[in-house]
Amino acid sequence: MGKVKAKEVAHLKPKKKCCRKKKRCLKCPVVIAKMQKCQAAGVKGKDLKKALKHARAA
């Protein structure tokens, strides 16, 4: 899959089930839902990268 930009994570197709590992994968439904909320709130740029890091931390 390679590197994915933080702004593109909200548009990925989520997996069927969350694996609940220590660092969640990018296609995890939990991560995608959190990133969609951030983008809806108007978060952009560096703050979006921080939000992705926070969303992936279990």
* Domain-embedded: residue 56: yes
* Domain-embedded: residue 16: no
Nearest Cα residue to 32 out of 4, 22, 45, 47: 4
Interval 1-55: pLDDT, tens: 568 889 999 999 999 988 888 899 999 999 999 999 999 999 999 999 999 999 9
Largest Cα span, the chain:
29
pLDDT for the residue 48: 93
* Domain-embedded: residue 15: no
Q: Give the Cα-Cα-Cα angle 43, 11, 23 (nearest 5 degrees).
A: 75
* Domain-embedded: residue 49: yes
* Domain-embedded: residue 9: no
Domain encompassing residue 57: 22-58
Token pair for residue 19?
């694996």
pLDDT for the residue 20: 83
* Domain-embedded: residue 10: no
* Domain-embedded: residue 4: no
pLDDT for the residue 32: 94
